[in-house]
Chains A and B, each alone.
Chain A
Amino acid sequence: MREQGTDDRDIVDREPGEEGLQHGIERIVVALDPSAHSRAALEAAARMAARLGAELQALFIEDVNIRRLTELPFVQEVGLYTGSCRRVEVHELSRQLRVQAGRMRHHFGAITQHIETQCTFQEIRGSVTSEVLSAAAEADVVILGKGAWSPFETERLAPMVREVLIDVPASSLVLQAGSRVEPPMRVVYDGTPLGHKAVATAAELVRGEDRFLTVFILADDKDEAARQEDDVRQQLEGAGLEISFQRLKEASVSRLSHLVAHEERGTLLLPAGTAALEDEAVLDFLDETRAPVLLIR
């Protein structure tokens, strides 16, 4: 099994006839914190940037609220391991935050050292949600760790992540600790431009790997399904991929959960705004599933 990201083979030269693989992803933003979810997100972001030839920007956002704790004398820090209380001292806190940021920077550097496209690491102090949304405004994909940076790391979407997913204009990818963007690649195609984009992105991600793609055709009837299959074939003609098609009558949360539940590995690409999938339903789906889901916007 190949490690994610970091080698030259990840940058695949485009051959003639591969116009259908134009996914339009040129800039990826990944929001970082010290959690394990965030580390998974960074690895996925690096891999995608390498594979898609996109720029990568990592944001390490220091919550502005942390420093304010030092200004309130009655606020104390409770040690995670000891359970003991201590005053939050500004110098000590600053030192700890610098160390934390330094560790993240070092980890970022190690993961992106072989990526040829531009990779930047930025430290920002501010409101996490606002800063992420602000950076996402100029990004094509935003990648986040699923859970919060919490002593009881949960596999459910953190509140900040929910907020971002609802308002972010770009495509978004959420990863939890231990998951990776890897084959088998599955994409839902509904015949919309976002569906095309999803297919193109999926195809690009599998090129250079196992070159096998599963396309779930979202159509009510057989004729529509056949037409959409032709669309996809046409789009991916010349890409040199093996494609299998499955028909999906509906794109409900339960149905999508079923698609990913029985596979231990794999990635799902889902065009956002798919009919019958409202935002809340998507968030519920993302809450439940362990597999990486790239929402294409």
Chain B
Amino acid sequence: MTDDSTRLDPAKLYHYTDPSQFGFETTDEVEDLTEVIGQPRAVEAMEFGMAIEEKGYNIYAMGPPGIGKQSLMRQFFEERARDEPAPSDWCYVNNFEDDHKPNAIELPAGLGVELRDDVQELVEQFDTALSAAFESEEYQSRRQSIMEEFRESQQQAFQDLQRRAEEEDVRLIRTPAGLAVAPVRGDEVLSPDEIQELSEEEQGQLQQKVEEMQAELQEILRQVPSWQRDMRERLNELNREMANLAVGGLIDELREKYSDYPEVVDHLDAVQEDVVENAETFLPQGGGQQQGGQQALQQMLQGGQGQAQAQQAMVQEALMRKYKVNVLVDKGDTDHAPVVYEDNPTYQNLIGRIEHMARMGALMTDFHLIKAGALHRANGGYLLLDARKVLTEPYAYEALKRAMDAGMLRIESLGRQLSVISTVSLEPEPIPLDVKVGLYGNRLIYYLLTQFDPDFANLFKVEADFHEEMKRDDKNQKLYAQLIATMVHEAELQPFDSDAVARVIERSARMVGDSEKLSTKGQDIGDLLREANHWAKRNGNDVVTATDVEKAINAQIYRADRLRERMQEAILRDTVLIDTEGEEIGQVNGLSIIPLGDFMFGRPTRITARTRMGKGEVVDIEREVELGGPIHSKGVLILSGFLNGRYVEEKPLSLSASLVFEQSYSQVEGDSASSAELYSLLSSLAEAPIKQSMAVTGSVNQRGQVQAIGGVNQKIEGFFDICEARGLTGDQGVLIPASNVKHLMLRQDVVEAVKKGRFHIYPVETVDQGIEILTGVPAGERDKQGNYPEGTINHIVERRLAELAEKRSSFGEGAEEEQGA
């Protein structure tokens, strides 16, 4: 039974926004919005997360994309960072005790670069100062004196021996490999015959003399290494003394300047010590030293003086490099805490890297090649990261957690960590980490991490949950208008008039499918504004109007609805069978949603039911062929519960029913068609034809109450489009759950058709209401005796089920008798 009382008032089909409430003509008159609207929970969470200084209270902002998670978090960070001091500079310097473990030095902001430059200048002066020291007359003279002293002592010992030898008529003869002591007469060594001519005693004395001299010679030669060692030690001592004097004064100046920073002073002390220890490297080649013949020959073989000098220059360069400073983080150009967004959060971009350079076929590295990562740059401030990106980069998430948990930044070579064979690399001193990390991503990631990663819950204790929609009341509409104006200003678009703003707000409600809500997805609104602006410009408008906004909306839909057009065409061409007139038993027009990315549309689907005697099964054919999802299957199974509960409480349900979505060959999910399925079942049982001019949507529970569904606007419009294409008859309409009325934001052509009585919307709360509208037959209510009135749907169905139960029972007795026979 359909009449005006069952039909929905057209006023409820669309919630208009009155532009006059805004108080402006165009958005040029509107001041920018300074507060965040529509996200009270997220804002409070952010404020809490920012304020609390305990470990582990980092923030995860969750919500769908385009809702402003990143921008809001950045805004919060930047506002707070403005009032916080700039963090320290960090530098790496060589560790002279173990150059694989560079030392870290912390300095006030800006002083790192100053230190680097000061040390650079100092080191550049080393060469000059040391060259001057080692080329000085004093050094040369003292050096020569030491060497001469050694030479003289050697020569003296040797000459003394020679003289004593001569006194004893023996001589030192030079052989290719050494020296020999031999008896002589004049200048000639005695021959064996000449010795034989001597008496035995004389021979013995001669031999003894030779052996004594030989022993003395041995003793002298054995002393030579220790003399040489003594000489070297004295020369080294001299070199150290000169080096200390040369560089000490220069370094003292820097010590004075950086006296407040003990680590810098320690480094300068180590530099001085190293310079002194390696003073010989700065000795001038050739001219400043006495070279023996072997050295000269060696130089000749090695390509001469030039090559030796080049080699010395290389060694000096390597030494100088060790003294310099690598500024890892420089905060000299900022006066507040940093806010860093890393848009490519690889392991190395987060933690830092140790680079290598190829030198003579090998990969070399030193502390100069340590590079900072995002965590270094954000240290003392805030770091913003996309959760999905962090999780999809190998080892990045683990490294991030490790650093946050330890409160220390340790740069480790990933290659070394993964290598089967350990390669020599650096282990820089870890740097203390103090950073607030803001991750943003969807809810699924958050809940998965919370569920499966115990570390996550310890490190990200603050969830900032961004809601997709906000309440649509007068106050919020005005704020929303201000938000739109702000977005127009920021994007430097043409001004929007108040009608255009109102249209955008209405569209926002349609986006969330709720007339009482507005979308908080700023990205979608921003896109609409930009596209409306584009259409306005194309039309030559200086101000964007509602027409431009409408054009933008329609253009967006048109770009996305190719498939809807095809499906509609298939129905209109009767390829897909959908009736919009007449009646059929056990057949109803159900409504479904096809989601395609950001776009979704509704389409009618024929649902049919066949019933017969059986064992109480309601067969969902979609489920049988595994085209039905679990929620869909649940909805069908609930029908059995309804039938059992209403009609056959004290009897067995002797029904076998099959339900199918006709001409549906893809997955079906959701229970929004369960009421339609129930209507077709009841129609089949009662043999009461259902009006094909109607379409139905709504889920049903076991008590026969019709429940809300999603996509109500699209579903209505989907059926409307078919009816309109065939020509509206005035009888057509859609049954929707009453609880979905507040979600209606229908297209204007639908609203107009309803206003004109050409199309109707029927909100229902129970299946009884629905079956009456669909069949035109009263559903019926039980009287005091518990009986349904004769001729009502419920009565017919109940009677039918009872008949089936009796027949089944008699079939069962007959079977037993046959068996007994």
Q: Which A residues form the contact surface with B (CB < 8 A)?
A: 34-36, 39, 63-66, 68-69, 71-72, 74-80, 83-85, 88, 93, 96-97, 99-100, 127, 129, 148-154, 177-178
Contacts and interface: CB of A to CB of B under 8 A. Distances in A.
A72 B155 contact: no
Nearest to A264: B287
Contact of B191 (A34, A68, A148): A68
Given A88-B175, A93-B175, A75 B180 contact: yes
Given A78-B179, A80-B221, A68 B189 contact: yes
Contacts of A80: 177-179, 221
A83 B296 CA distance: 25
B188 A65 contact: yes
Interface stretch (B210-218, B439-447, B483-491): B210-218
B192 interface: yes
A79 B293 contact: no
Q: A66, A69, A76, A78 — which one has the most chain B CB atoms within 10 A of its CB?
A: A78
Contacts of B151: 152
B456 interface: no
Given A65-B173, A152-B154, A154-B155, A79 B221 contact: yes
Given A36-B293, A39-B293, A97-B176, A68 B222 contact: no
Contacts of A149: 174
Contact of A77 (B158, B171, B180, B183): B180
B175 A77 contact: yes
Contacts of B291: 178
B191 A79 contact: no
A34 B176 CA distance: 9
B177 A79 contact: yes
Interface string B153-188: 011001000000000000101111111111110011
A75 B218 contact: no
B221 to A, nearest CB: 4
Contacts of B221: 78-80, 83, 151
B299 to A, nearest CB: 13
A72 B222 contact: no
Interface residues of B, number: 37
Given A127-B188, A149-B174, A78 B155 contact: no
B812 interface: no
A177 B293 contact: yes
Interface centre among A68, A69, A84, A97 (most CB of B within 10 A): A68
A65 B158 contact: no
B195 interface: yes
B292 interface: yes
Interface string B208-247: 0011001001100110100000000000000000000000
A150 B190 CA distance: 22
Interface of B: 151, 154-155, 158, 171, 173-184, 187-192, 195, 207, 210-211, 214, 217-218, 221-222, 224, 291-293, 296
Cβ-closest 5 pairs across A and B: A36-B293, A96-B176, A83-B221, A83-B222, A68-B189
Contacts of B180: 69, 75-78, 88
B178 A69 contact: no
Contacts of A150: 158, 174
A53 to B, nearest CB: 27
Contacts of B210: 74-75
Contact of A66 (B175, B184, B218): B175
A107 to B, nearest CB: 10
B180 to A, nearest CB: 5
Contacts of B224: 83
Contact of A96 (B171, B173, B175, B214): B175
Nearest to B293: A36
A79 B155 contact: no
Contacts of A93: 175-176
Given A71-B192, A83-B221, A77 B182 contact: no
Contacts of B181: 75, 78
A148 B291 CA distance: 18
B81 to A, nearest CB: 67
Contacts of A154: 155
Contact of B173 (A63, A127, A129): A63
Given A75-B210, A85-B218, A178-B291, A100 B158 contact: no
Contact of B177 (A68, A96, A152): A96
Contacts of A152: 151, 154-155, 158
Contacts of A177: 292-293
A152 to B, nearest CB: 5
Contacts of B179: 77-78, 80, 151
A69 B174 CA distance: 11
Contacts of A83: 218, 221-222, 224
Contacts of B192: 71-72
Contacts of A97: 176
Contacts of B154: 152
B689 to A, nearest CB: 123
Contacts of B195: 72
A129 B177 CA distance: 22
Interface centre among B189, B191, B210 (most CB of A within 10 A): B189
Contacts of B214: 76, 78, 85
B173 A69 contact: yes
Contacts of A148: 174
A72 B182 contact: yes
B292 A36 contact: yes
20 contacts: A65-B188, A65-B189, A66-B175, A68-B182, A68-B189, A69-B175, A72-B189, A75-B180, A75-B181, A77-B175, A77-B178, A83-B218, A83-B221, A83-B222, A85-B218, A93-B176, A152-B155, A152-B158, A177-B293, A178-B296
A83 B195 CA distance: 27
A63 B710 CA distance: 118
Nearest to B192: A71
B169 to A, nearest CB: 13
B178 A79 contact: yes
Given A72-B192, A78-B218, A80-B178, 7 more contacts: A39-B293, A65-B187, A72-B182, A75-B210, A80-B179, A149-B174, A151-B179
A209 B734 CA distance: 118
A85 B213 CA distance: 12
A64 B188 contact: yes
B207 A74 contact: yes
Contact of B176 (A99, A151, A153): A99
A96 B177 CA distance: 8
A5 to B, nearest CB: 14
A72 B214 CA distance: 14
Nearest to B151: A152
Contacts of A77: 175, 177-180
A239 to B, nearest CB: 34
Contacts of B222: 83
B293 to A, nearest CB: 3
A72 B211 CA distance: 12
Nearest to B173: A65
A75 B209 CA distance: 11
A100 to B, nearest CB: 5
B182 A65 contact: yes
A100 B174 CA distance: 13
A108 to B, nearest CB: 15
A266 to B, nearest CB: 17
Contacts of A72: 182-183, 189-190, 192, 195
Nearest to A163: B187
A71 B174 contact: no
Nearest to A95: B176
Nearest to A35: B293
A154 B153 CA distance: 12
Contacts of B293: 35-36, 39, 177
| Most B-side CB within 10 Å, residue of A65, A69, A129 | A65
B309 to A, nearest CB: 16
Given A100-B176, A177-B292, A151 B158 contact: yes
B218 A74 contact: no
